[in-house]
Amino acid sequence: MPRTPAVPLVLASALLTAATACSVDWPETPSAADRPNTHTPTPAQSPSLSPSPAAAPSLTKAQTEAALITETDLGDPWMPTEGAATWRDGLLKAAARPAECQRLLDTVYTDELFGTATGTRAVVALDDAWDGAQLRYQVVTQRPAEVESTLAWLRSLPRTCATFAATTAQGDVREGQVSGLELPDVGDAREAVRLTLSGESAEGEFTLTLDVAAVRVGADALALTNGGVGEVSAEVTQGVAELGAARLAEVRKRGRAEV
């Protein structure tokens, strides 16, 4: 059986058209919202006087869901999830030191990278039918300062959790490592890391690989985890982050909720 392609063909094609084609029904908006802003600002329109992202209206639930990535974007072998991956309980529920490494395990287990969202949230989970990986993707409306705090925390993890130990309730010890993962230059800010947990189970030795990425786009943000005990492609993580940021930017451009 063929292995997961580094970048699925459907995803690669979508990356080329994400900024110009979104197949969703948009709410009616003023015609000016669809025109590119190409004029030169006058003094009265100085960028320094523009509203901050924190003051911008929130996305509607429908718009947030329209910004999600689906199995159609990724193509084979991705499909809608059949449930939480079995390794989530078996490997992520463990006690780790230092505290920042424990926070990382807790965060990826609960799938709340930004904590409790202060605005709209939409989530999707997809399974890789070939290699057993699972991708969990979400779009949230969150205060930019809170998102920046999360990005700074992710950025620190390759130092604070370069190597660590995690112990399960059964007393099994896992060796953990965190390294930086480069993302394309997308959104207003971005950060990603790769977490690995290695150990032994009844089935033998294993290594869980889990990519964790976040991108801020204005007052909204996307977060994704891509992981499993089989093949995990960093290029898929990077491609999904790039496509997701482009789609979220397009949703924001097309229409914001009225306040």
Which of 9-18, 59-68, 99-108 is the least confident region?
9-18
pLDDT score of 103: 96
Q: Are 145 and 240 in contact (CB under 8 A)?
A: no
pLDDT recorded at residue 117: 63
Mean pLDDT in residue range 156-178: 95
How is residue 188 written in tokens?
């207003």
Residue 147 tokens read as: 């998102």
Residues 247 and 20 sit within 8 Å (Cβ to Cβ) = no
Exposure of 50 by Cβ count < 10 A (0-12 exposed, 13-18 middle, 19+ buried)?
exposed
- Per the model's pLDDT, the better-predicted residue between 105 and 27 turns out to be 105
pLDDT at 9 over 90: no
- 3, pLDDT greater than 60: no
pLDDT of residue 49: 36
User: What does the mean pLDDT of the chain come to?
Assistant: 81
Q: Give the pLDDT score at 21.
A: 44
State how far the Cα of 102 lies from the Cα of 80, in Å rounded to an integer.
29
Q: Domain 71-254: state its class.
A: alpha beta
**Residue 242 class from Cβ within 10 Å (0-12 exposed, 13-18 middle, 19+ buried)?**
buried
Closest CA to 195 of 219, 175, 221: 175
Per residue in 20-61, pLDDT (tens digit) is 444 333 333 333 334 344 444 444 443 333 344 444 567 889
Report which DSSP code applies to 210. Answer: E
Q: Phi first, then psi: what are they for 122, rounded to 5°?
A: -135, 140
In the chain, the amino acid numbered 243 is L
Q: Where are the domains of the chain?
A: 71-254
Among 29-33, 93-97, 131-135, 228-232, name the one with the lowest average pLDDT. Answer: 29-33
In a 3-state reduction of DSSP, which class is residue 237?
helix
In this structure, are strands 121-128 and 78-80 parallel, antiparallel, or unpaired?
antiparallel
Buried b vs exposed e over 2-39: b needs ≥16 C-beta within 10 Å? eebbebbebbeebbeebeeebeeeeeeeeeeeeeeeee
Give me the pLDDT at residue 5, please.
Answer: 52
Do 65 and 251 touch, CB atoms closer than 8 A?
no
Residue 246 near residue 14 (C-beta atoms within 8 A):
no
Task: Kindly provide the b/e burial profile for residues 111-134, where b requires at least 16 CB atoms within 10 angstroms of the residue's own CB.
Answer: bebbeebeebbbebbbbbebbbbb
170 band by pLDDT with thresholds 50, 70 and 90: confident
The pair of three-digit structure tokens given for residue 51, joined into one six-digit string? 């509203």
Give the separation between CA 69 and CA 54, rounded to whole angstroms: 24
What is the largest distance, in Å, between two alpha-carbon atoms of the chain?
69
Q: What is the pLDDT of residue 201?
A: 75
**Tell me, what's the pLDDT at 53?**
43
Residue 43: what pLDDT?
41
pLDDT in tens, 188-229: 999 999 999 999 877 788 999 999 999 999 889 999 999 999
Per-residue DSSP letter, 24? S
3-state secondary structure at position 222: strand
Percent of the chain scored above 90 by pLDDT?
A: 57
What is the structure's pLDDT at 187?
A: 95
